[in-house]
Amino acid sequence: DSGVTQTPKHLITATGQRVTLRCSPRSGDLSVYWYQQSLDQGLQFLIQYYNGEERAKGNILERFSAQQFPDLHSELNLSSLELGDSALYFCASSPRLAGSGELFFGEGSRLTVL
């Protein structure tokens, strides 16, 4: 158990809809990362927050957004969903912005868009 909690574990929705994925980082971790894992694209970095502020953006679509709240949990919002958004979405956390570098991953939220 990494200590990172993601909800929901599974989500099935329809095209055009909007969903929110939630992540609680390990206790004391200030940095949260979101990744998307799909068969064709592999593991893609989406966005990172550190202590409530956005720090880095990867391959995140404009239809997607995220935020980190004062209690350090984070939410990833996916809107106008398309079939191709079906994937496993991971949250990871780390204690500091850089540090020794390893990230601690949650179990993921599997999104299926029908």
In the shown chain, the binding pattern of residues 21 to 60 toward another protein, with x for contact by CB under 8 A and - for none, equals ------------x-x------xx-x--x-x----xxxx--
Among 78, 92, 111, 113, interactor with another protein by CB under 8 A: 92
Task: Give ∠ CA 83-87-90 in degrees, rounded to 5.
Answer: 145
Select 31 or 78, whichever has its Cβ closest to another protein: 31
Query: SS3 for 5?
Result: strand
Interface with another protein, residue 111, by CB under 8 A: no
* Residue 25 Cα to chain centre, angstroms: 11
Return the residue of 25, 29, 87, 90 that touches another protein, per CB under 8 A: 90
Residues 6+ apart with CB under 8 A from 98: none
The least distance separating another protein from the CB of residue 102, rounded to whole angstroms, comes to 5
Pick from 88, 86, 90: nearest CA to 66: 90
Minimum distance, C-beta of residue 14 to another protein, in the bound complex (Å):
24
